[in-house]
Chain A
């Protein structure tokens, strides 16, 4: 099925001025899209603007804005998600909807599913102010041809050849050069091509034409690439009267969640990524996705998490005139055994921790809930990473932490807090390669009372230049650092370092504070 949706809506009213969208091509402005009134007055797309102005002096024009067109098309594609999860873009003005297996949902009394779906789609689009044509066929090519070339909009299986025969060759999705060539040779209708021997056709007009012909007739498969990955499971509800209250949305999520939970339990699966799609009456679609720490399938929990999320999104999910369809989809699943009745009341603690992680992730973003992972590096800033808890697989904790286990008591050799970007300090030392005596950090002078060091940390020369991005100031890949643990007069402890070996790597080493001790 293919639709054609010029972004310029035809205006209503008594005698609106004819309108056209122009684009610049080959150094001249040409009409790209025109409305019905302009067409009636004899204009055609592709005319030069000068000619068009000559024929229709009151023509209102606007320059084409391809980015906005594409945005509008994507928004319509999003909205079309209500008919099928498989929607592919056909830029600039078309959409492909794979409606296999979806049509029966739209069947009404006295009308089969396909007819009902098509008329529903066109009616709703028109109401939003879009002119559209739609056709349904067994192949994407045939549907495109019929939608663009005209004819009976619903092509029954096997009827492609017949439906396409009378259409102009341009309905085969071929480029302008081939089209012009075919036209000059008198091959104006698709029907004239179908019977032709294939080898000369391919030799003369390129393989593209033959492929398009085969695709339209179903001799060759055509793969559409849908915009969004289809969800593993989804449940939706349509409303005769749009809903806008948060409570109704929440209750709908709960009941959708229940039906999903049943389906998940049958397959021994749990949801890891959920998506809630709210279809507004005026065509806008709000999508809210939500990850969970562990596979889960309790409807109440899904409801609570989405309620949390909705409360933080606030005005960005504007119900407008209300939502007419609400869909809850499970995008990713994970294995989860069938539920067991917990007699001992244990496991509640673990479950409540997972709930917490999910709640925090729902409100603050799952990337803000982190755990420290030890990495294999001796550079301080690379020895640890904070990884989102949601992304950490079960039992994945990186290396073991070098916990204190030695015989002798040692002071903390690493600071409690580390700056992502070391902060430059002005240091006074007695000799250039000596320990600091005094330093100025954040406009305050600190007198060093005691210090220990240096601890020399050499760069990872085997990794130089592999990170791709330039390291921040002070964290050079190439210079050795000498770290000192210093304590100032007030008893605060700092981790300072001098970047660059004096005399060998640099003549003027810079000092930084990299961390703070407790």
Chain B
């Protein structure tokens, strides 16, 4: 019927309007993406939409992660990184800063300015950002504009103001659990980010997984450092365990990532290497103590070995892990 056809068209238009407002892909674009063959290596689907996406993404330089994220973390979007404990706050800050240091600015010649918003509370709990330490990670401290807000409300406001500013490349907000940072606030922040093209990172310290408008949410904890050269005893490359808990694109997973500040790039570490990282060198005086400790606390990670398709993926990507859950085994990637 003519009426129903018109209604259908109207409905279609409204849907695409909503999709545009929410920053999702329109149905047509989605179709073109789905139609393209998603090959086993997980490289980007061909086509104009994919090309546009690739330039809008912040590649981590780790194939496993980039595949999962279809080319990297979306720019002009909000990403959330949370830690379960206050003690990991510094590790989480380090991961975000490493991301910023690794970001290759596409069209812009100079790496952009970063707004870092923190609260007075986080300074008491975990100290202030330390310039020489930033430099040691490979990030130029002069890029950072640091704002300290007395109240969480002000911090959230400053974060949103930063996301609304075209002159910035990134805005980071570091907060402990705060009531003012609800779904509405994150949605506003995500909208601002999309309008201006600033990428936002929300660092939530000692916070449970809460609903938010973020594109991705990661849970982060510190891992024993990786080895540099032959110095097995040394405290080498910074390492983190990343659990991708939420991904708008659908797939999640767990990774152990190391940071190479010298080349400013990430690298994954396989599960076996992670274990070896914990094993202590023999010539250490504290060896006996440490070994007994490791035996008492087996790692909450299990090696990848599942049905055929997962095995294929796992074999190619040793860094992709599977998570043991109370409800049984679940494929994480």
A residues neighboring B (CB under 8 Å): 348-357, 359-360, 363-364, 368-374, 380, 383-384, 386, 389, 397, 401-404, 406, 408-420, 430, 437, 447-452, 485-487, 489-493, 515-518
In the complex the two chains form, what is the Cα distance from A253 to B161 in whole Å?
23
Decide: A410 near B235, CB < 8 A? Known: A416-B90, A416-B134, A437-B286: no
User: Which chain B residue lies CB-closest to A489?
Assistant: B293
Q: Is B162 at the interface (CB under 8 A from chain A)?
A: yes
- List 8 A-B pairs, Cβ < 8 Å: A353-B165, A369-B147, A408-B262, A414-B136, A416-B130, A447-B290, A492-B88, A518-B97
In the complex the two chains form, what is the Cα distance from A396 to B222 in whole Å?
36
User: Which chain B residue lies CB-closest to A369?
Assistant: B147
Contacting residues, chain B, for A451 (C-beta < 8 A):
235
**CB-CB nearest 8 A-B residue pairs:** A518-B94, A353-B167, A384-B131, A516-B90, A412-B136, A409-B262, A417-B127, A418-B130
Once the chains bind, are A403 and B129 in contact (CB under 8 Å)?
no
Once the chains bind, are A363 and B157 in contact (CB under 8 Å)?
yes
Decide: A386 near B128, CB < 8 A? Known: A416-B94, A491-B225: yes
The number of chain B residues touching the other chain, given as a range, is 35 or more
Once the chains bind, are A515 and B165 in contact (CB under 8 Å)?
no
Once the chains bind, are A384 and B132 in contact (CB under 8 Å)?
yes
In the complex the two chains form, what is the Cα distance from A348 to B168 in whole Å?
12
Q: Is B259 at the interface (CB under 8 A from chain A)?
A: yes
Decide: A404 near B136, CB < 8 A? Known: A356-B115, A384-B131, A411-B236: yes
Decide: A517 near B94, CB < 8 A? Known: A352-B165, A416-B134: yes
Once the chains bind, are A401 and B154 in contact (CB under 8 Å)?
no
Once the chains bind, are B167 and A493 in contact (CB under 8 Å)?
no
Once the chains bind, are B158 and A518 in contact (CB under 8 Å)?
no
Q: Is B133 at the interface (CB under 8 A from chain A)?
A: yes
**Interchain nearest-CB distance for B135 vs A (Å):** 4
**Interchain nearest-CB distance for B99 vs A (Å):** 11
Q: Is B126 at the interface (CB under 8 A from chain A)?
A: yes
**Interchain nearest-CB distance for A375 vs B (Å):** 9
In the complex the two chains form, what is the Cα distance from A394 to B162 in whole Å?
21
Partner of A518, one of B95, B113, B141, B154: B95
Partner of B126, one of A357, A372, A408, A417: A417
**Interchain nearest-CB distance for A61 vs B (Å):** 46
Contacting residues, chain B, for A487 (C-beta < 8 A):
224-225, 235
Once the chains bind, are A414 and B98 in contact (CB under 8 Å)?
no
Once the chains bind, are A415 and B133 in contact (CB under 8 Å)?
yes
Decide: A447 near B289, CB < 8 A? Known: A371-B145, A414-B132, A486-B235: yes
B residues neighboring A (CB under 8 Å): 87-88, 90-91, 93-95, 97-98, 113, 115, 123, 126-138, 140-142, 144-150, 154, 157-158, 161-162, 164-168, 221-225, 228-229, 233-240, 259-263, 278, 280, 284-286, 289-290, 293-294, 297
In the complex the two chains form, what is the Cα distance from A363 to B150 in whole Å?
11
In the complex the two chains form, what is the Cα distance from A489 to B224 in whole Å?
8
User: Which chain A residue lies CB-closest to B120?
Assistant: A368
Once the chains bind, are B115 and A518 in contact (CB under 8 Å)?
no
Partner of A485, one of B115, B134, B235, B237: B235
Contacting residues, chain B, for A491 (C-beta < 8 A):
221-225, 239
Once the chains bind, are B261 and A412 in contact (CB under 8 Å)?
yes
Once the chains bind, are A368 and B165 in contact (CB under 8 Å)?
no
In the complex the two chains form, what is the Cα distance from A163 to B147 in whole Å?
62
In the complex the two chains form, what is the Cα distance from A359 to B290 in whole Å?
52
Contacting residues, chain B, for A370 (C-beta < 8 A):
145-148
Decide: A418 near B128, CB < 8 A? Known: A356-B168, A409-B229: yes
Contacting residues, chain A, for B145 (C-beta < 8 A):
357, 369-371, 389
Contacting residues, chain B, for A354 (C-beta < 8 A):
167
Once the chains bind, are B130 and A515 in contact (CB under 8 Å)?
yes
Once the chains bind, are B144 and A364 in contact (CB under 8 Å)?
no
Partner of A372, one of B146, B235, B263: B146
Once the chains bind, are B225 and A401 in contact (CB under 8 Å)?
no
In the complex the two chains form, what is the Cα distance from A383 to B225 in whole Å?
26
Once the chains bind, are A493 and B132 in contact (CB under 8 Å)?
no
Known: A410-B228, A411-B228, A418-B130. 7 other contacts (CB 8 A): A353-B167, A368-B147, A374-B131, A402-B135, A492-B91, A518-B93, A518-B240
In the complex the two chains form, what is the Cα distance from A448 to B285 in whole Å?
11
Decide: A413 near B128, CB < 8 A? Known: A360-B158, A447-B293: no
Contacting residues, chain A, for B166 (C-beta < 8 A):
348-349, 352
Contacting residues, chain A, for B294 (C-beta < 8 A):
489
Once the chains bind, are A383 and B133 in contact (CB under 8 Å)?
no
**Interchain nearest-CB distance for B23 vs A (Å):** 21
**Interchain nearest-CB distance for B193 vs A (Å):** 14
User: Which chain B residue lies CB-closest to A448?
Assistant: B286
In the complex the two chains form, what is the Cα distance from A406 to B148 in whole Å?
33
Partner of A418, one of B93, B133, B162, B260: B133
Contacting residues, chain A, for B285 (C-beta < 8 A):
430, 437
Contacting residues, chain B, for A401 (C-beta < 8 A):
131-132, 135, 140-142
Contacting residues, chain A, for B165 (C-beta < 8 A):
352-353, 355-356
In the complex the two chains form, what is the Cα distance from A138 to B237 in whole Å?
78
In the complex the two chains form, what is the Cα distance from A373 to B144 in whole Å?
11
**Interchain nearest-CB distance for B105 vs A (Å):** 13
User: Which chain B residue lies CB-closest to A487?
Assistant: B235
Contacting residues, chain B, for A384 (C-beta < 8 A):
130-132, 141
Contacting residues, chain B, for A416 (C-beta < 8 A):
90, 93-94, 97, 129-130, 133-134, 137
Once the chains bind, are B223 and A360 in contact (CB under 8 Å)?
no
Once the chains bind, are B140 and A411 in contact (CB under 8 Å)?
no
Once the chains bind, are A417 and B129 in contact (CB under 8 Å)?
yes
In the complex the two chains form, what is the Cα distance from A325 to B233 in whole Å?
72
In the complex the two chains form, what is the Cα distance from A110 to B328 in whole Å?
96
